[in-house]
A and B are shown apart, each in its own frame.
Chain A
């Protein structure tokens, strides 16, 4: 089974621009979560999508948004980029539907640099 894929792997943007990152989960996984990882804050949860619906959201401003398509692929968008948005953005998929505890499978991440 192919793992979680994320595109692009690296991205350089300037302040004020917007960016869209893409994630393809493991085949059959319907839950996709997004995380931001920075040296200062570590791994922080952004949001989770399941069957095209956002089920859970972390404590991030509204500039961070996402969506999920019918094939479970997900995108996240960051508008009006700030220097502090420079981070590794990780996508994770799981086979979880509801309630049960399962592991998350992470992609390699997208390294975003904001200049």
Chain B
């Protein structure tokens, strides 16, 4: 089956360091991947989209890479802050307009 997996359920990191989250996919070649942030009790918020022909995308302190050889996307938060603590979800396209989400990585930035 076409899977999308976020291997780390939780990640703790010291403030100021770079957080790196991983999203792997199997049996599928997604045309793009999306990354979302979700805070407790709230809906996901879109952060970045990266297409298969893009190696890297940046937005402020965020950077996403897409490696079609490794079938992997990496999501980086540089100079992490406690306010970055949240669950981060990667998603690939499903059918017409639905998304298949990974299970998410809960990031905690320790002051």
Task: Count B interface residues, CB 8 Å.
Answer: 25
15 contacts between A and B (CB under 8 A): A4-B43, A33-B97, A33-B99, A35-B101, A43-B44, A45-B99, A48-B95, A56-B98, A58-B94, A94-B97, A96-B97, A101-B51, A103-B46, A104-B99, A108-B41
Name the prevailing secondary structure of the A interface residues.
strand
Provided the pairs A42-B103, A43-B89, A45-B99 are in contact, do residues A107 and B43 lie with their beta carbons within 8 angstroms?
yes
Q: Are B31 and A101 within 8 A (Cβ)?
A: yes
- Nearest CB of A to B88, in Å: 12
Q: Is the CB of B96 within 8 A of A56?
A: yes
A58–B101 alpha-carbon span in the complex (Å): 13
Residue of A nearest to B103 (CB): A42
Task: Indicate if the CB atoms of B98 and A48 lie closer than 8 Å.
Answer: yes
- Write the residues of chain B forming the contact surface with A, with a CB cutoff of 8 angstroms: 31-32, 34, 36, 41-46, 49, 51, 89, 93-104
List A contacts of B89 (CB < 8 A): 43
- Minimum CB distance partner of B91 in chain A: A43
Chain A residues in the interface with B (C-beta under 8 A):
4, 31, 33, 35, 42-45, 48, 50, 55-56, 58, 90, 92, 94, 96, 98, 101, 103-109, 111
User: How many residue pairs at the A-B interface have CB separations less than 8 Å?
Assistant: 63
**Residues on the A chain within 8 Å of B95, using CB:** 48, 56
Which residue of B has the minimal Cβ distance to A33? Answer: B98
Name the residue on B nearest A39 (C-beta).
B103
Provide the residues of chain B in CB contact with A50, threshold 8 Å. Answer: 97
